[in-house]
Structure 1
């Protein structure tokens, strides 16, 4: 079992089983989870609590169906900043935390600085969004838009072999 507030968490086989199960179904009852991972309900609940406290489990979310929600457009946006100083990166990263349309953002090594996943009701609304983002003074020199035409695989759980 992981130790409380450790900076280098070591997950044992029971922790890994718990994480694997809740990635598949976060709404699973604690008693059913305990059965599946072969622990008592109290031991399983305690492990789950510690995993949450340690920040290994960041939250529980509902996965929505964009197709059934009425035409949400997803755009992958490659961003290149005009300056590459640490303060410029921090400014950009802090600003995008407050923009709900930006669902994900990753710092990338290579020809681009960031890769973002943006949700928009339409392509024209996305273009207006990007114009406002450029006017916001975030230091964006260039951006490249990649319109998602269909999801092939998304929101996959992290495989047990990678967790171990």
Structure 2
């Protein structure tokens, strides 16, 4: 079982850097240094350390689903038929390789997992879910919640509270 990493102590310079790159992941190192009021070398060193510590997991482009041919998104609540640790690990390992599953969270409450699934249509989504049920992942029940419109998504992590440290 994976253990959670210990949180890294961030100072106000780190928080400023992280805030800026969350807002603009394509910012140049020199512009970043200007915005956070550090020398370019000090800023680069801090950026390297934040990456090495695993705080910065990567950079990506946010795409517009509507402009790339449209997609539907479905939040899927999943209940496993068995709740042994090996069953959870089997499910969690298997879904890592499924590109349609954009996110998956283990949660407490009446369901075991909450997934965000992308699909080109409702018919394709239904076929996808039928395939998951046949794949031997241990899914007992699932509940589909169709996203009708995005209201807020891909928000940066609020770092303002960290500045109080």
TM over 0.5: yes
CA distance in 1, matches of 2:40, 2:132: 49
Q: Could you give the per-residue CA deviations for residues 64-91 of structure 1, whole angstroms, max 9, x where no partner exists?
A: 0111111111000000000111111000
Structure 2 residues not aligned, in runs of 5+: none
Q: Could you give the per-residue CA deviations for residues 1-46 of structure 1, whole angstroms, max 9, x where no partner exists?
A: xxxxx84410000000000000000000000000111100000001
Where does residue 150 of structure 2 map in the other structure? Answer: 151
- Counting only pairs closer than 5 Å after superposition, residues 38-53 of structure 1 correspond to structure 2 as 38-53=37-52
Q: Structure 2 length as normaliser, TM-score?
A: 0.93
CA distance in 2, matches of 1:115, 1:135: 19
CA distance in 1, matches of 2:51, 2:100: 27
Where does residue 94 of structure 1 map in the other structure? Answer: 93
Corresponding residue SS for 2:8: coil
CA distance in 2, matches of 1:116, 1:97: 12
CA distance in 1, matches of 2:159, 2:7: 18
Where does residue 10 of structure 1 map in the other structure? Answer: 9
Q: Could you give the per-residue CA deviations for residues 87-120 of structure 1, whole angstroms, max 9, x where no partner exists?
A: 1100000000010100000000000000000001
Where does residue 125 of structure 1 map in the other structure? Answer: 124
CA distance in 1, matches of 2:124, 2:137: 20
Where does residue 160 of structure 1 map in the other structure? Answer: 159
Corresponding residue SS for 2:144: strand
What RMSD, in angstroms, separates the aligned Cα atoms of the two structures? Answer: 1.1
- TM-fit CA distance, 1:161: 2.4
Corresponding residue SS for 1:152: coil
CA distance in 2, matches of 1:163, 1:66: 33
Tell me the number of residue pairs that the alignment of Structure 1 and Structure 2 aligns.
Answer: 159
- Structure 1 48/8 Cα, relative in aligned 2: closer, same or farther at 3 Å? same
Corresponding residue SS for 2:118: strand
Where does residue 30 of structure 2 map in the other structure? Answer: 31
CA distance in 2, matches of 1:127, 1:163: 43
CA distance in 2, matches of 1:69, 1:100: 17
